[in-house]
Amino acid sequence: MSRYNRGNADNTAMDDLMSFAATGNALPLLHEVRHALAELLENNKTAVIDLGAIPFAPGDERVLDSILGEGEVHAVLKTLGESHVRETSIYGVWRVDHMDASGEYQSRFIEVTFLPEILKTHSTDAAAGLGTLTARLEEEDEKLKQRN
């Protein structure tokens, strides 16, 4: 169900009507996505499209949602507010929605990639993780020594 079809019985009809108002930008954007996906397969080149830079009406969102669909992966990042990283039913095409701590949208992207960069662990974070794990294991060793 489109996000614009929500609401109670009284305003469902209006929501449904409004959900068809469109700028006509959805289909050209989807063609851009198709070109980007072909480029990913041929030249291993990734692409990011900023949905905040394009005029979109509810009808465009409806077209985008219905053609891309929902895929197999939905990851939720919990840093500086939530981020939702979802693969669409078109493999290799991802929706990345960043929200702030109060749940307001900060930025929205379509990424054409095998795995969005933001899901990968950065080496500096991995180094910090190594330090944390080492410290925790040392604590455990200390506890074992005290027990013995």
140 makes contact with other proteins (CB under 8 A): no
21 makes contact with other proteins (CB under 8 A): yes
104 makes contact with other proteins (CB under 8 A): yes
**Rounded CA separation 60/108 (Å):** 14
91 makes contact with other proteins (CB under 8 A): no
DSSP H/E element including 70: none
Q: Which of 5, 11, 12, 23 binds other proteins (CB under 8 A)?
A: 23
122 makes contact with other proteins (CB under 8 A): yes
CA dist 22 → 55, 69, 104, 117 (Å): 9, 18, 23, 31
**Rounded CA separation 93/109 (Å):** 10
CA dist 48 → 65, 67, 89, 144 (Å): 17, 18, 17, 50
43 makes contact with other proteins (CB under 8 A): no
Residue (83 or 88) nearer to other proteins, CB: 83
16 makes contact with other proteins (CB under 8 A): no
Tokens coding 123: 């080496």
* Site stretch for other proteins (CB under 8 A), options 5-13, 28-36, 62-70, 92-100: 92-100
13 makes contact with other proteins (CB under 8 A): no
**Rounded CA separation 49/120 (Å):** 19
Residues near other proteins (CB under 8 A): 21, 23-24, 48-50, 52-57, 77, 79-80, 83, 96, 98, 100, 102, 104-107, 109, 117-118, 121-122, 124-125
